[in-house]
Amino acid sequence: MAELITASELDGIREDVDQLFENTGKIERVTSIGTLNHATGLYTDQVRVLIYSGPCYIAPIISRRDRFDEVGQGLVFSRQYRVNIPWDQADVQIRDLFTPLTSEDPQLIGREMLVRDVLVQTNVSYRRLTVQDTRE
């Protein structure tokens, strides 16, 4: 059976896609939520594991997604972004945290976002994630 694409062609495609990764970011997984500080509403001593740090591509998803919040109170607007990372980074899971480290949009830098979707079928040249603001 003839190959649909040769290994050298696939390597060339991956090199081309790598040039599109003009931003950098990190993905972390919370392994222990720590202790809730009732005064601030934030968790202290949270334990995180670094899953990925490196080049990525970030683009906003241009659509308004309104939904009810977790207790059924009103509609919430959340910003969503498409994030592409190198194809061989397969350990990313839903509920991991993505933080852009560099971006053309200064409002994105350092903003922590929740991974809401991971492309199940790996693209031959990148892995696609959907992330959204954690603050609602």
Contact 55, 80 (CB under 8 A): no
Reported as a single tens digit per residue, the pLDDT across 31-50 is 887 788 888 877 777 788 99
Q: Is residue 2 part of a domain?
A: no
pLDDT of res. 77:
60
Reported as a single tens digit per residue, the pLDDT across 79-94 is 889 998 887 776 899 9
Q: Is residue 86 part of a domain?
A: yes
Mean pLDDT of 100-121: 87
Cα–Cα distance list, 124 to 3, 27, 58, 71 (Å): 14, 21, 18, 40
Q: Is residue 98 part of a domain?
A: yes
Q: Report how far apart the first and last C-alpha atoms of the chain are (Å, whole number).
A: 52
Question: Alpha-carbon Rg of the chain, whole angstroms?
Answer: 17
Q: Is residue 73 part of a domain?
A: yes
Burial status of residue 37 (CB atoms within 10 A of its CB: 0-12, 13-18, 19 or more): exposed
Looking up residue 100, the CATH number of its domain turns out to be 2.40.10.270
Q: State how many domains the chain has.
A: 1
pLDDT band at 1; cut points 50, 70, 90: low
* Three-class DSSP category at 15: helix
pLDDT of res. 71:
62
Mean pLDDT of the chain: 79
Range of the domain at 102: 7-133
| Higher-pLDDT residue of 105, 14 | 105
Return the percentage of the chain with pLDDT > 90, whole number: 25
